[in-house]
Structure 1
Amino acid sequence: MANRVFVAGVGMTKFEKPGSRDWDYPDMAREAGGAALADAGVGYDLVEQAFVGYVYGESTSGQRAVYELGLTGIPVVNVNNNCSTGSTALFLAAQAVRGGLADCVLALGFEKMQKGSLASTYDDREQPLMKHILALAELREFAAPPAPWMFGAAGREHMERYGTTVEQFAKIGEKNHRHSVNNPYAQFQDAYTLREILDAKEIYPPLTRLQCSPTSDGSGAAVIVSERFLERHDLAGKAVEIVGQSMVTDMTNTFTDAISIVGAKMTASAAEQVYSRAGIGPSDVDVIELHDCFSTNELITYEALGLCAEGEGGKLVDAGDTTYGGRWVVNPSGGLISKGHPLGATGLAQCAELTWQLRGSADNRQVDGAKVALQHNIGLGGAVVVTAYRPAER
């Protein structure tokens, strides 16, 4: 029988524009990891394993990062899974506890990014996304940079298939920027009108600059523990339980259309598994942090998570069902679009936000009565991690 798994402590840095702060990834890890340990009320000496995620960096940067917290000889595993790296570290930490291999595990993610659009590091070998890019190029003429082209193409396919409008995608950008005003950890904390979102520089139609996640520096961390550890250290009052979790990678049906190429079918499969394991459905969820790398992906993900039927994401937007006062609050943190997107840290920042929401300690962005939370983090090339949480004490 699998062990129950709990998040006992979380921490993160403020997400920053690359180069705007004089720090390096060990500084980020010390800040976020130290905050998570302090939040849990445990010392690094009690941590038995660490899973450390980053996308851009040299081998064993994970060790160098956690050495800021202590030198105890524990196993440190470096994790890289594109934009889902942080949640992959979380998945592995939870797996170690669930399987009885450890009682206290640290999941940590960080990123120190270059300014501008994402670019490849090695040009003398096959690119991990080449299969996806070639499949999409058969459907849509290629445009650089690849990321907004891929997610923009998925949005255009959704518009053609279901009548979704440019304004509906822009409303998602408006919502997430508005939410971030109340998040001191967010890279951006400015609200914009819908007109300003629409009139911003076009990156790839229907996406404007204010509907795209920026490059960011920052770190996030979570302390993952067993029920036995939770009880021994009297941590249940602040802890949240991971009641369902799934990681899914690409399947043969990934390459059928633009929406699937950017991961919608992976998400749907992972969400179905999580709902089954947690014994919940979409209607039971109160607050969601999902991977809005672009506004088009947020809308597509509404449908993949089962918040509405396929093709009806735009109706959710127009009805105000994904903001305060609606059926769910999606991305109260501001999401990737406004909070920022340091690739290795994003999944753990989502975990931190949902932990605070379920504790009722999210200050001015608190979702009233939040009892069930859902997290979605995706990386093309590809992997998606979906996680459901409830308070440890219900």
Structure 2
Amino acid sequence: MNFFEIDPRVAEAAQKAMELCAPKLAEIEQIQEYHQTKMIKAFQNAAVRESFFCGSTGYGYDDYGRDALDRVYAYVFDAEDALVRHNFVSGTHALTVALFGILRPGDTALCVTGMPYDTIRSAIGLEGNYPGSLKDFGINFEITNLLPDGTPDYEQIKKDIKTKQPKMVYIQRSRGYSTRPTLTYREIKKICDISKAACKSSIIMLDNCYGEFTERVEPLSVGVDVMAGSLIKNPGGGIAPTGGYIAGKARLVEMCSYRLTTPGTGKEIGATLNTSRELFMGAYHAPHVTGEAMKTAVFASALFELLGYNTSPRYDENRGDIIQLIMLGSAEKLVSFCGGIQSGSAVDSFVVPEPSDMPGYESKVIMAAGAFTLGSSIELSADAPLREPYAVWLQGGLNFHAGKLGIMLAADKVLRDNK
């Protein structure tokens, strides 16, 4: 079993971490089982058959597999309808299609969870001056700041919605490159309740990236009207090669489909090429794989806490996504950590990550991702902007055993490089 030389201090701490994690790991397994059972029922309700995996070409007319996959996603997310396509190039793309599909010039969208994630800012018009942004089309995007502790300011949210009467209330579930807590369904529900009371007509949209299958309760069941995410995160199960989804109320999904293709054709066209089998298989495995990523995050939190670092969330706290924040405190430790994660990968383990400029980010970023799918964050990966507070954002792990090894190697390298 000693295939890797790991510092005895890390090995000992890992054993203690497993003991600390045991109750939370058991809880995650219950969530896995719940969603896996629901997923199988979704497949059966959609009458999924082998012929659906063939895909289509050209216009994609009468692609029954494509339509069945939409029904599978709609069922598991408690949605009226869903739009699941390989030609969403990223989660940001899916979110942008939803924003432009629903909002019109003169409308106001109010983000109630502070400044949104880096890569969506240019599409909104908050950064840069790119033609075709929401701002360029005369769509207003306003922000309700979070409280100093990073939690939603419910009183200010209520005031802003009452005053502005926005067409859309926009919620970002995950923390992005910030230290604020991820929202669980409970916080999402509270925001939805406040919004509906303050402005009944407001459409509530959720950026659900990293959050799928992490809790029993789905956001669409607690008041969210429409949500979007990426297939190279949780719902793709580490198998989907690309893609994204939009799910929610049927009329809103229809509007989004007209933005993705053309008004009048919407969901009825779009060749699936050779992706159908992978998208179905990815969805099937997604509940289990997401749980494995959550277990990896819980273990990482416990291990690094034992080694003296602050983590968020802590190993025994409830989680609303797969992301684990570890406060390493210096640029050198960030580089060491990412190097350790990379060295534990099955793919590109020999690569040495280095900080570099990345499109959509204002500071240099270091990333570690020995992934089968480029950019996949359901596979064990870590990334961090080289700026205060020198924290690393860790996510993924297709299976817990491999994820655990990667975390131990990261801890080992941090210890060895920073004596």
Q: Computing the radius of gyration over CA atoms, which structure comes out larger, 1 or 2?
A: 2
More strand by share: 1
Bin for the TM-score computed over the shorter chain: under 0.3
